[in-house]
Each structure stands twice: as structure tokens, then as C-alpha cells.
Structure 1
């Protein structure tokens, strides 16, 4: 009965419904942006919802396993404050990622308010400040940060370049530039022990009554975001993944130290917040320092996007590639490309220069009598 009640409470939490709402909004914004820029939706699949559910279930299993093994526990008041900040962070998922920051700010605010008269003596503070902070509070926040950072790295590892949604901007000298945005997020339930449960013997692990009366199901938000103008999608994702792994390693190490030296907890949390800010600037710099733009070119036809499960996708054409020749005919515009496709309406052969300037050949059967459905999205 306690298990069912805890699960039921998860589905009425504001953070969970904010996640559902933002999934719908992100999908609609993506389609609206693509139709405004290209008159079509590049991928009408509602993959945002599929990823939200799939990752939520996966992180439920893995996260709860971590939490149960390490006896992870946080005060109820801290979870209330976290949920407020996580909802705010979730509302900004289409412009940036603040999922780890929401948790670290929760820890920082709790530490600061609990040590100042403004917080500890105020009547309102009882809603967000625990009655007793405990010596392992900082370690718990850091351990949970490490878990979320690992999940964030997983999001960046799994996703593909086809989920970078393009948007057209006016560039210098009258040429247009494509920029790309990628986001992934989910809200997942985490089974967590409430404060006061100690594990002094292995017999407590084997007693089911210990779990049914001493845990709660907590909603957690994890997300990742990339916006690029010059980097390749794979490079941006790889950098995002490496940064998340670094946070996970540092947070795990600091959690271990803070377990034995509690004062390290506050400084570790504050330090990780500064590192998150530095990483955000690092991503901006990496994109700024990249060598090429996704810009219109007179050399051939620049590929802005590739529709999934089309002949273009089967030919492994990528964002940023320039089609120089089609069926032996040099092309410089989209109209010239589709005219060349008509020369062989059931098969096409392309000469392509990739984003690094290397030449490659690509060929595939195409839809008979429908060369425009090859799956390429070009500058209109």
C-alpha cells in the first residue's frame, strides 16, 4: 500500500507535469520552426515523447539502484525546494540546460540559509529548510549530482546528428547561415530513503518492511542542450558528454570526501556550480573556434538537414555536406540538383565534399518519379 501511494504521489508532482508540458511544447516549437524555415517538418515523429518515456524508465531503474545501494537520503523540505528550482530550470530547456544547476543551487541555498539568521529564524524557512541539516547532507547532494551527470552523459552519447534541428539566420554578404539546436530531457522517479533510516546490519536490507515504510518516490529532472553554428553535431555531443563525465567524477569524489569531512560538502557544491558555468563558456568557445560555418555556398549545394529513413539518409549524407555533382552534372542550386536527378529518376550518383573538405561519392536508388523526395533539406 505504501509503495502504491508513493508511486501515485509521483504522478501528481508539479515537476512531472512540467516535464510532460515541456515535451509537448518542445515538439510543437521544433515543427513550427522547421516549417517556417523550410516549409516542411523535417521529422514529424514525436520522438521527444518517446525519448522522455524511454529514458525515464531507464533512469528509474539505474538511479533507484544507485540510491538504494548507497542509502541516498534527503530531507523532505530540500526536495520541495529542489522541485521548485527544477520546474524553473525545465521551463528554460529550449534555451539552455540548468538541470544540474537546479540541484546544486538547492544544496547551496539550503547550506547558506541554515547558517544565517535570515533563513534559520524566519517562519517561512520551515517550508524549505530541514529541521536538522545533518552531517551527510552535502555528501548526498553531491552523490545525486554525480548520478544526474552520468545520466546527462548518456543522453549526449545516445543521440544522433539527425536530432539537431536547423534554423536559418541572415549572414554577412547576403548569404544565409544555418544554426542547430539539440535538446534531450526527462523527468524520472527515483526511489529514495527518507532521513532517519540507518543501515547498521545486513539484516535490515533483507527485511521488506524496512523499505515499505521508509522510502519515497522523488521526481528528478535531467537534461542536456547544445546550440551550434560552426561545430559538427558529433563534436558538440562528444564535448557535452566529456563535460558531464567530468562533473560526475568530481561530484562522486567530493561526495566520498564529504561523507567523512562534512565541511567539504558546501565548498564542493559551490565549486561544481562554478565549473558548470565555466563549461558553458567552454562550449561557446569551442563552437566559436570551429573552422567552418553552415553557410550558403556557390561551390555547390549545401545540405542543411537530412530527413530520416530516406534515400539521402541511406547514402549517409550529413549536415554540412556540399553536393558538387549529381549524375555527372555539376550543380550550384537546388533547382539544378533536382533537374539532374530527373536524368536518372530511379537512381542517383552524387559527388560530395564533406564538412572537412574531403571528397566522397554517394549513390542510392531513389523514389521512382519523385526525385524531390530524396530526403534532402536545402537552403530555400
Structure 2
């Protein structure tokens, strides 16, 4: 019996991978990668990560978080109406069309789907096969959605904290004073696949082969649903890794708070409405506060008189192999003080066989980095610097 059930579940998973959102997220990730590469080539003449970077980040960690979240969701007996799943998919695509990637986060997709579900039930929208999935369980369905949203918020926070800080993209902009300065940008989308329990009638009608099970007189099904997690952040006044990790922590804390509050919905169903509202507003406040804090900070990546600031490192380049890091300040090259790209290049040419750099790390401590130079790569260390040229503000050197 268990083997038959497993086979049926695997068949169902195969069918559900035809979910349009699943493929749509691959398309969005590819678009993000191509647009980032074009911008980096425009700013620096060379890209940092290749165009497949966003695609490579789409799934691995999300699958792990999704499995853990699925176990918690199923163990807790969360039953999610099919209406909500459909509305979530619709809002995922709708918000993506605004080009605001961050709106593809669970707070805005599942959060608005929650209210759309309530509205559909109140207005008795004729949704074939699905509307009856809520009618007998209204007292527990809405708190379950609130709990699911909390779990997805925690998952989003983990993704931001662990993955969002990887491969942040250097970017050149002009400050309010018209000076060329550097910032870092993260524009990412992740896929979080979750196994969810839905009322059995919701899928029995269109898919007769779908396996169902009974609990307490009710029938249910388990389906695999791909949730999107969109994230966008610009960092100007801090090291990008620190700034992104800070946002990830705040989102996790918000998720934990929403999870604690959502439990009250099982005693007071109307409390679920307030909890979901808190989740949406709280997520938006995290973004707005981050922008306000960044806007009041001086630019971290700007031209310095005592060296050249490393804005970006090309992966696999000589600079990367030398252990150079974003945010470090190169004060001397081959014993010669440098203050811009030209002086850096001239100092490199003083010794065509060896490169020795005197570097101030992010803590202000002096260290030395060196390597042998080979013909053809002496002027291509793979470092992005901020410069104040009019058209081409920076180049990789």
C-alpha cells in the first residue's frame, strides 16, 4: 500500500511540474541574468558572474527549505484551499509584470491571495471544482494560510541571509553632487517548492487518478506547489554582504512573529486577517526602512585619495585567486602608492613578472597580496574600481 501511494505521489509530482509558475520563474531568472550582464558590461566592459548565475541560484537552497517547510506544514495539518493556490500563482505573474521583483515575495503573493480568497468566497465566485473546498472548513482554512505565510517568510529570510549575499552585482551611479560612485545591487528570484494538503474534492474532479486519503471523515490530497521568492536590494553605505544579511535576519524575525500571532487564528478566525495584514505591512516596512537607512549613509564605494577601493571582483580572476575582497582598499602596488586606475596600471607595469599589493582590509588592517604575472594577464587582474570618467566610469583592471 505504501509503495502504491509513493508511486501515485511521484506521478502527481511529474504532472504538477507542468505548473506554469515553475517554468515562468526560470524565464524570469534568465531575464535577470541577461539584463545584469548587459549593465555590468556597460559599466565595466566585462561582466562579473556569467548570465547563468541567477538560474543556478533559483533552486538548490529553495528545495531544501521547501522540504523542511513541507514537513512542518503537513505535520501541523495545514489545509490550504485550491483557490488560494490559484490566486497566488496569478499574483506571482501579475506582480512580475510590474518589473518590481521584490513584489514576487510571499508577503505580496500569498498575502494578497489570502484576501482574494476571502473576497471570492463572500462574492460566491463560480470557480469550477474549487469553491466547495472551503465551504466546510472556513474556520480553520484562513488560520492555516496565515501559518503558511509565516513559514514562507522564515524561508524567505533564510534565502536572503544565506544566498542573497552571494554574487552581489557592482553598479555605477551618480551621486547628488554629480560624482561617480559605486553601489551593489541584488536582484534575485528563488523557487520554493512546497508539498501542501488540499481538500480532496478539489483535485478528484479534474484528475481522477489523483491519490486521496481520509482523516476525520474528510478527504485530502497532497500536491507540490512552486512558490516564488523575489528579492531586490541596493547597498550604498555598507559592505553588501553585511547589509543583505541584516535584511535576511529582519525577515526571519518577522516570520517568527507572524507565526506566533497566526496561532491565535485557530481560536479567533478573524485574527488571521489581522495577522496577514501585519505580514504584508511588516515586509514593506523592512524594505522602506532599509532604503531610508542606506539613503542617509555616505557612499562606501567612492574615490579615495589614499588608494583605490575595490568595488567588484571577477570570479576566477587573478584578483580572486589572490584573495582580494570587495570593500578592501589597495594602497600600494609594487611599493608604489596608487590613487586611481592610471596610477594602478602604471605601477603594475613596473614589474611585469610579479605583482605585490599592499591592502587595507575592511577592518583597516594592512595585509599583503601577491602573485606571479604571466604574459597576457598583467593588466587584467579582474578588479572593478570606481573612477570619475564621464562616459565610462570604471573599468576592470
Count matched residues. 366
Matched ranges for 1:246-265 at <5 A = 246-265=253-272
Q: Distance in 1 between matches of 2:362 and 2:131?
A: 51
Matched ranges for 1:180-191 at <5 A = 180-191=184-195
TM-score (norm 2): 0.82
Alignment partner, residue 247 of structure 2: 240
> Shift of the alpha carbon at 1:142?
1.7
Alignment partner, residue 391 of structure 2: none
**Does residue 360 of the first structure (1) align with residue 354 of the second (2)?**
no
**Does residue 15 of the first structure (1) align with residue 21 of the second (2)?**
yes
Give a deviation string over 1:306-327, Cα, whole Å, max 9, x none: 1123332244433333322111
Give a deviation string over 1:213-260, Cα, whole Å, max 9, x none: 722222211233221222221221122112111121112112222123
Given the alignment, which residue of 165, 169, 191 partners 2:169? 165
Alignment partner, residue 292 of structure 2: 285
**Does residue 143 of the first structure (1) align with residue 157 of the second (2)?**
no
Q: Distance in 2 between matches of 1:270 and 1:296?
A: 44
Alignment partner, residue 200 of structure 1: none
Unaligned runs of 5+ in 1: 198-206
Q: Distance in 1 between matches of 2:28 and 2:343?
A: 41
> Shift of the alpha carbon at 1:62?
1.6
Give a deviation string over 1:66-121, Cα, whole Å, max 9, x none: 22211222111121111101223345576534412211111123234544xxx23x
Give a deviation string over 1:289-348, Cα, whole Å, max 9, x none: 334342233443222201123332244433333322111101122122122123333433
Matched ranges for 1:79-94 at <5 A = 79-91=85-97
Q: Distance in 1 between matches of 2:18 and 2:75?
A: 27
> Shift of the alpha carbon at 1:266?
0.9
Indicate the SS of the match to 1:184. strand
Give a deviation string over 1:340-366, Cα, whole Å, max 9, x none: 12333343332334566x242231214
Q: Distance in 1 between matches of 2:212 and 2:134?
A: 28
Alignment partner, residue 6 of structure 1: 12
Please, what is the CA RMSD of the aligned residues?
2.9
Q: Distance in 1 between matches of 2:46 and 2:100?
A: 21
> Shift of the alpha carbon at 1:183?
3.0
> Shift of the alpha carbon at 1:47?
2.3
Give a deviation string over 1:47-78, Cα, whole Å, max 9, x none: 22222131243234222212221122211112
Given the alignment, which residue of 50, 61, 67 partners 1:61? 67
Alignment partner, residue 373 of structure 1: 380
Given the alignment, which residue of 43, 46, 53 partners 2:52? 46
**Does residue 35 of the first structure (1) align with residue 35 of the second (2)?**
no
CA contact (8 A) 1:306 1:319 kept: yes
Indicate the SS of the match to 1:309. coil
| Structure 1 pair 350–87 and aligned structure 2 pair: CA distance change class (3 A) | same
| Structure 1 pair 4–281 and aligned structure 2 pair: CA distance change class (3 A) | same
TM-score (norm 1): 0.86
Alignment partner, residue 70 of structure 1: 76
Matched ranges for 1:224-235 at <5 A = 224-235=231-242
